[in-house]
């Protein structure tokens, strides 16, 4: 008796198994960009990008990447306003102090920054101030920084801070009511330090931007970061950080890598980090399916 029917049957079973496997992969967090939305909490649309990617293309990139909401700050702020005008349902504006010759390396020493922030905040679209940089120990206590923090606290706004742990401690020391989104999860800090900071400060959240290859070296979720994500599942958000124009060319790939490491977490934790926590902080806009 020929074994061909048996082989054909086994081949058919194998094909069905492979189809089911592929289908399953496309319905997991890491399998397909459409399977889990990401609220991108670290986006810049700064001057150098304007001539390369007009606002319509930026919005299209977000749509293609499965990003229904995005926290945007820009150098100068006009870039944020352009994106907000293009798609106010998607864009969550933050006000960055950088403009003209005021930048990340000198803003904390420029007294005119306070007036600039006051004037820009008259347009009632902003949910926060930042991302701003505190590169050196002691900057967080500068008068201009204190004023910016005071503006945020008095208006109920968040501040998006690029700094080490010391600067965050300094800000909470003089403004304990601050609501801080810690850019790059501390940038140079370990997940253990981030976890300790979150134990101490209940109004501290952190975005994952630029840390993705620390989080998942060679694509495998690091045990230290996994422990942080499980312990503080309500305090982490995902960010891309399009700090230079070339990052826009890699935008979808950056977020796909984020989905890859998110896929190595329990589904409920991954959904909180991907979009749930940011929705809780900044709202879902019209995307009611995110607000569950």
pLDDT, tens digit (0-9, with 9 covering 90-100), for 230-263: 999 999 999 999 999 999 999 999 999 999 999 9
Token reading at 74: 């820009």
Q: Give the H or E element holding residue 40.
A: strand 39-43
Q: Residue 286 pLDDT more than 90?
A: no
C-alpha to C-alpha distance for 116 and 151, rounded to whole angstroms: 12
Tell me if 17 is assigned to some domain. Answer: no
Q: Given this model, what pLDDT does residue 54 score?
A: 98
Tell me if 235 is assigned to some domain. Answer: yes
Task: List strands edge to edge, sheet with 204-207.
Answer: 39-43, 69-72, 91-95, 128-133, 158-162, 180-182, 204-207, 236-237
Mean per-residue pLDDT, 6-15: 40
Mean per-residue pLDDT, 14-27: 35
Q: Given this model, what pLDDT does residue 27 score?
A: 36
Tell me if 77 is assigned to some domain. Answer: yes
pLDDT, tens digit (0-9, with 9 covering 90-100), for 123-175: 999 999 999 999 988 899 999 999 999 999 999 999 999 999 999 999 999 99
pLDDT, tens digit (0-9, with 9 covering 90-100), for 69-126: 999 999 999 999 999 999 999 999 999 999 999 999 999 999 999 999 999 999 999 9
Q: Give the rounded percent of residues in the chain with a pLDDT score beyond 70.
A: 87
Q: Residue 276 pLDDT more than 70?
A: yes
- Tally of domains in the chain: 1
Tell me if 20 is assigned to some domain. Answer: no
CATH number, position 130: 3.20.20.140
Q: Given this model, what pLDDT does residue 291 score?
A: 67
pLDDT, tens digit (0-9, with 9 covering 90-100), for 31-62: 333 479 999 999 999 999 999 999 999 999 99
- Calculate the alpha carbon distances from 168 to 50, 55, 199 in Å: 32, 33, 13
Q: Given this model, what pLDDT does residue 93 score?
A: 98
pLDDT, tens digit (0-9, with 9 covering 90-100), for 171-184: 999 999 999 999 99
Q: Residue 19 pLDDT more than 50?
A: no
Tell me if 3 is assigned to some domain. Answer: no
Q: Residue 15 pLDDT more than 80?
A: no
Q: What are phi and psi of 41, to 5 degrees?
A: -100, 20
Predicted confidence band of residue 292 (pLDDT cuts 50, 70, 90) = low
| Cβ partners under 8 Å of residue 54, min gap 6 | none
Mean per-residue pLDDT, 3-9: 43
C-alpha to C-alpha distance for 32 and 30, rounded to whole angstroms: 6
User: In 3-state terms, what secondary structure has residue 103?
Assistant: coil
Tell me if 156 is assigned to some domain. Answer: yes
Q: Given this model, what pLDDT does residue 137 score?
A: 87
Tell me if 81 is assigned to some domain. Answer: yes
- Which residue range is the domain that position 135 belongs to? 34-286
Tell me if 12 is assigned to some domain. Answer: no
Predicted TM-score of the model (pTM): 0.88
Cβ neighbourhood burial of 228 (10 Å; 0-12, 13-18, 19+): buried
């Amino acid at each position: 008796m020929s074994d061909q029917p048996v082989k054909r049957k086994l081949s058919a079973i194998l094909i069905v198994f492979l189809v089911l496997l592929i289908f399953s992969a496309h319905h997991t967090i890491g399998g397909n960009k459409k399977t889990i939305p990401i609220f991108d909490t670290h986006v810049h649309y700064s001057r150098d990008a304007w001539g390369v990617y007009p606002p319509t293309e930026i919005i299209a990139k977000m749509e293609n990447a499965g990003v229904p909401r995005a926290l945007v700050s820009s150098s100068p702020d006009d870039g944020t306003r352009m994106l907000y005008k293009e798609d106010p349902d998607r864009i969550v504006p933050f006000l960055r102090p950088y403009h003209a010759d005021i930048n990340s390396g000198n803003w904390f020493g420029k007294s005119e920054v306070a007036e600039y922030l006051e004037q820009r905040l008259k347009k009632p679209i902003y949910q926060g101030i930042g991302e701003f940089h505190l590169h050196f120990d002691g900057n967080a206590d500068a008068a201009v920084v204190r004023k910016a923090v005071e503006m945020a606290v008095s208006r109920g706004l968040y501040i998006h801070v690029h700094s080490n742990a010391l600067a965050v401690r300094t800000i909470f020391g003089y403004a304990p009511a601050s609501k801080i989104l810690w850019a790059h999860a501390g940038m140079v800090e370990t997940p253990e330090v981030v976890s300790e900071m979150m134990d101490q400060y209940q109004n501290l959240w952190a975005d994952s931007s630029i840390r993705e290859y620390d989080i998942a070296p060679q694509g495998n979720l690091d045990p230290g970061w996994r422990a942080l994500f499980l312990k503080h599942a309500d305090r982490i958000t995902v960010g891309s950080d399009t700090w230079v124009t070339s990052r826009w060319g890699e935008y979808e790939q950056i977020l796909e890598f984020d989905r890859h490491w998110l896929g190595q977490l329990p589904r409920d934790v991954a959904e909180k980090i991907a979009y749930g926590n940011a929705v809780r902080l900044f709202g879902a806009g019209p995307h009611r399916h995110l607000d569950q």
